Each structure stands twice: as structure tokens, then as C-alpha cells.
């Protein structure tokens, strides 16, 4: 991430001026970040490997805590788990104050409270991530008399514009996911189960240094997207929709395969989806209205004979799926379309996806990852977007 200099010449892994402005707009004096993704962002990419897949430990949980006082980065502190002492020895943390001795969320928040009292100053409101603050830890803050405000939106806006380094990670994540999908399609054979495909995709992603997050998949005419014991059959249409995590950044794409050759109707269905994707991507550039993506795509969907079972969606991507920019208020993940009437900015990253849930031909979908540039857009992982003939290597 880009670094700015503080008054004491300490290099920060985030835009201090932007964060201070966002906190000021939200009326927040001190920020307490506790989600893994925002802690990672504020610490410059660090995420503790021991609790990467889980949070529970003993009778409580792991809760990483970053404390940041608006305008005073030299008062920043990090409070982590006892096992993070080894990471501390490796010099992984930039904050001036670091303590690694917690075994619960309340341990970590108590250290944060002690630190806030120590740095003093005019503190009236503490910003927390309410959705990522356990009730026992939040109660501790309340009992100490602090006014609590939600900082989730401010932190999302801080992460909104990706740096060159972040874009490189998102590009790698996307390319490795589609390469894993192509290898999985090659592996397919009639008689295998959907569970077999997920296991293969997991291995392919892990072998490419991704952390496998999930795979939604369909086979044949069935529209059920969960892994199962359903067996593949010759001629089956197969959709793979998967997220692979590369150093915290998400590659989330969907590609299509078939156990055989697509007929004219299948070619037409995927061509229609490809056309909608291309048209929806055309307005993506710095300065364009965010909602124009939907305006164009929705107009095409409205005239399609497949409208009753067609879906279009565009949403932000980064450390979190469905993060900013927020382009619509009517998507499946509920939030307000804050950026619908605001201009897109270079460095925003958008997932664009179109699906046809055909009652006779099955689930057909493309999902692409697109970065906003000053002059237009660039697709990450823009490979294998046609019909991938499955089973090539599985037959060898």
C-alpha cells in the first residue's frame, strides 16, 4: 500500500489524511478496528496465520485490535494474541505500541481502554466496527463511559481506491482462480460428483497459493449450486463460481464448461451473457456515474426473452466481497447504493456478473473482475470466458 509520512517521519501503510478526514466527517475521535480485513489494511497487509480460518479459542475468541487516534498516528497501538509474540519478534508491526498477550476479546479491548486512558486528550466518541465487535467486548467499552459510533462506513471508504500494490494482488487472485477453473474443467468426466469437482478446484487453488473460500457450482439442468453427490453426465453444462483469496484479496469469478459440445442454443445463451457483460463494462471509467452500469445492463435485460430468469449485478471487490463502491440499493446483499449517483474513481474494483437460470438448459453465468482506470477499465482474469470443453485431461 502507499505510504505517507507523519510529522515524526513514521511511514504509514495507509492514507492518513484520508482516514483523518473520514473520521472527522463521522465525528469520531478514536478508531478501534477489530475485523480481520480492516486490521490487515491498517497494519499494511499483516494477518495472523494461526487464526486465519477461525476465531474461537478456549471459551472466547481471537480479536485483533488496532487503536488509532485521529491526527495522531504516533499514538497508534496494536493488541494481538499471545502467539503473535513470534510475529512481533519478526518485526511485523509498525504501530509504536504493540502488546501480544491476549486470549480473549475482552483482554484485547481492556488493553485498548487502558491505552486510550493513557494517551488522554479530548476524547468524546470512539468508532468501532459494530458488526465485528463481540457483545462482551462492546459492553466493556460501554461500561467505561465512552460514546460509541459505527466506523464501518468510514473504513470502507478508506479502502475504496486501491493502490498499485493492491491491484497487483487482485489481478493475481483473479488470474489464479480462472486458471484453477480451467484445470478443473479439464479434469471433469461423466460419473464424477460435484463434490469431486469442488475437491479438485480446492487443490488447484491451493497449489496456486490461494486460500480456497468457496465454490458454487451447477451441473446439467439442476439449478442447485451447492456441492453434492450429484453425478456428472455426458452433455452436462457446468458452472464454476469460486472465490480464491490471495494475501487477503479476493478473486471472485464464474466460468462455464460442458461435457461435450455446446449446441446452437447454448452458444446463443452464453453469447447473450457475454454481450451484456461487454455493454455493462463500457461505461466503467473514472468520472462516469456509478449507476450507469446498471442503467445499460438493465435496459438490455428488459428486452431479453430470458428476462424472467435472468439476473445482472455489479458490486465492489477487494478485501471484502460486496465492498465499495456501492452501486445499487436493490441487489441481493442489502445496502444503500451510495455510489449510484457518484462518479467512479480510478482504482475502484468492480465485479460484473450476468446469469441465466434456464429452466431447461441449466445455470449459465459469467462473472468478471474489472478495475476502473483514468481512461476506461481493465479486466482481471479475462480468460476462459467461452464454453470450456471439459474432460480433456481426464481422458488421458
pLDDT of residue 10: 59
Q: Is 89 helix (H, G, I), strand (E, B) or coil?
A: helix
Percentage of the chain with pLDDT > 90? 93
- Provide the 10 A C-beta neighbour count for residue 68: 26
At 228-261, the pLDDT tens digits run 999 999 999 999 999 999 999 999 999 999 999 9
Using alpha carbons, list the distances in angstroms from residue 9 to 3, 4, 73, 74, 179: 11, 9, 11, 10, 42
pLDDT of residue 2: 34
Q: Kindly tell me the number of DSSP H helices and DSSP E strands found in the chain.
A: 10, 18
- Provide the 10 A C-beta neighbour count for residue 10: 16
Average pLDDT for 284-298: 97
pLDDT of residue 11: 85
Percentage of the chain with pLDDT > 70? 96
CB–CB of 312/272 below 8 Å? no
pLDDT of residue 395: 45
Average pLDDT for 85-102: 98
pLDDT higher at 395 or 200: 200
pLDDT of residue 124: 83
CB–CB of 99/79 below 8 Å? yes
Kindly provide the residue ranges of all beta strands, DSSP E only, lying in 172-236, ordered along the sequence. 211-219
* 330: Cα within 13 Å, side-chain hemisphere: 6
Question: Percentages helix, strand, coil for the chain, rounded to the nearest 5?
Answer: 35, 30, 40
Residues 6+ apart with CB under 8 A from 69: 29, 30, 31, 75, 76, 119, 121, 123
Residue 5 pLDDT > 50: no
* 315: Cα within 13 Å, side-chain hemisphere: 23
pLDDT of residue 8: 42
Residue-range domains of the chain with CATH: 4-158 (3.40.350.10), 164-389 (3.90.230.10)
d(CA 364, CA 370): 20
Q: What does the mean pLDDT of the chain come to?
A: 95
Of the listed ranges 9-13, 57-61, 154-158, 349-353, the one predicted with least confidence? 9-13
CB–CB of 335/346 below 8 Å? no
Beta-sheet pairing, 147-150 with 125-128 = parallel
Of the listed ranges 118-127, 173-182, 193-202, the one predicted with least confidence? 118-127
Average pLDDT for 100-116: 97
Q: How confident is the model at residue 4 (pLDDT cuts 50, 70, 90)?
A: very low
- Provide the 10 A C-beta neighbour count for residue 336: 10
pLDDT of residue 66: 98
pLDDT of residue 3: 35
Note the Cα 309 to chain centre separation in Å. Answer: 26
Closest CA to 6 of 53, 56, 75: 75
Residue 121 pLDDT > 80: no
CB–CB of 328/295 below 8 Å? no
d(CA 220, CA 362): 6
**pTM for this entry:** 0.94
At 325-380, the pLDDT tens digits run 999 999 899 999 999 999 999 999 999 999 999 999 999 999 999 999 999 999 99
Q: How confident is the model at residue 123 (pLDDT cuts 50, 70, 90)?
A: confident
Helix (H) or strand (E) holding 376: none
Neighbour order of strands in the sheet with 65-69: 97-102, 72-81, 65-69, 30-33, 125-128, 147-150
Strand partners, 251: 244
Residues 6+ apart with CB under 8 A from 305: none
pLDDT of residue 393: 61
At 68-90, the pLDDT tens digits run 999 999 999 999 999 999 999 99
Residue bearing cell 475521535: 29
At 7-46, the pLDDT tens digits run 344 589 999 999 999 999 999 999 999 999 999 999 999 9
d(CA 227, CA 386): 23
pLDDT higher at 124 or 322: 322
Amino acid at each position: 500500500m502507499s505510504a505517507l509520512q507523519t510529522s515524526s517521519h513514521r511511514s504509514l501503510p495507509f492514507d492518513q489524511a484520508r482516514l483523518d478526514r473520514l473520521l472527522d466527517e463521522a465525528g469520531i475521535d478514536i478508531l478501534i478496528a477489530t475485523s480481520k480485513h480492516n486490521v490487515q489494511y491498517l497494519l499494511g497487509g499483516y494477518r495472523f496465520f494461526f487464526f486465519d480460518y477461525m476465531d474461537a479459542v478456549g471459551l472466547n475468541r481471537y480479536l485483533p485490535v488496532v487503536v488509532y487516534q485521529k491526527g495522531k498516528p504516533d499514538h497508534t497501538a496494536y493488541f494481538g494474541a499471545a502467539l503473535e509474540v513470534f510475529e512481533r519478534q519478526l518485526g511485523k508491526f509498525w504501530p509504536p505500541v504493540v502488546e501480544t498477550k491476549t486470549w480473549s476479546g475482552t483482554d484485547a479491548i481492556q488493553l485498548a481502554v487502558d491505552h486510550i486512558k493513557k494517551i488522554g486528550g479530548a476524547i468524546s466518541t470512539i468508532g468501532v466496527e459494530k458488526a465485528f465487535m463481540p457483545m462482551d467486548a462492546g459492553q466493556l467499552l460501554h461500561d467505561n463511559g465512552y460514546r460509541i459510533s459505527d466506523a464501518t462506513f468510514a473504513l470502507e471508504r478508506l479502502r475504496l481506491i486501491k493502490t498499485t500494490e493492491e491491484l497487483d494482488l487482485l489481478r493475481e487472485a483473479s488470474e489464479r482462480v480462472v486458471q484453477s477453473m480451467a484445470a478443473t474443467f479439464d479434469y471433469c468426466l461423466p460419473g464424477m460428483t460435484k463434490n469431486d469437482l469442488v475437491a479438485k478446484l480446492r487443490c488447484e487453488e491451493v497449489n496456486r497459493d490461494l486460500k480456497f473460500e468457496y465454490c458454487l457450482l451447477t451441473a446439467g439442468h439442476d439449478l442447485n449450486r451447492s456441492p453434492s453427490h450429484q453425478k456428472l453426465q455426458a452433455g452436462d453444462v457446468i458452472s464454476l463460481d469460486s472465490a480464491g483469496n490471495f494475501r487477503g484479496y479476493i478473486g471472485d469469478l464464474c466460468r462455464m464448461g460442458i461435457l461435450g459440445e455446446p449446441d446452437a442454443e447454448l452458444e446463443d445463451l452464453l453469447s447473450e451473457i457475454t454481450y451484456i457483460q461487454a455493454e455493462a463494462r463500457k461505461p466503467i471509467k473514472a468520472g462516469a456515474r456509478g449507476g450507469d452500469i446498471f442503467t445499460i445492463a438493465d435496459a438490455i435485460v428488459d428486452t431479453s426473452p430470458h428476462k424472467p430468469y435472468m439476473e445482472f449485478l455489479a458490486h465492489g471487490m477487494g478485501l471484502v466481497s460486496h465492498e465499495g463502491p456501492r452501486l445499487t440499493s436493490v441487489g441481493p446483499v442489502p445496502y444503500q447504493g451510495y455510489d449510484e449517483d457518484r462518479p467512479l474513481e480510478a482504482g475502484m474494483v468492480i465485479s460484473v456478473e450476468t446469469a441465466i437460470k434456464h429452466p431447461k438448459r441449466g445455470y449459465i453465468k459469467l462473472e468478471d473482475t474489472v478495475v476502473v482506470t483514468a481512461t476506461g477499465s481493465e479486466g482481471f482474469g479475462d480468460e476462459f470466458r467461452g464454453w470450456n470443453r471439459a474432460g480433456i485431461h481426464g481422458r488421458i
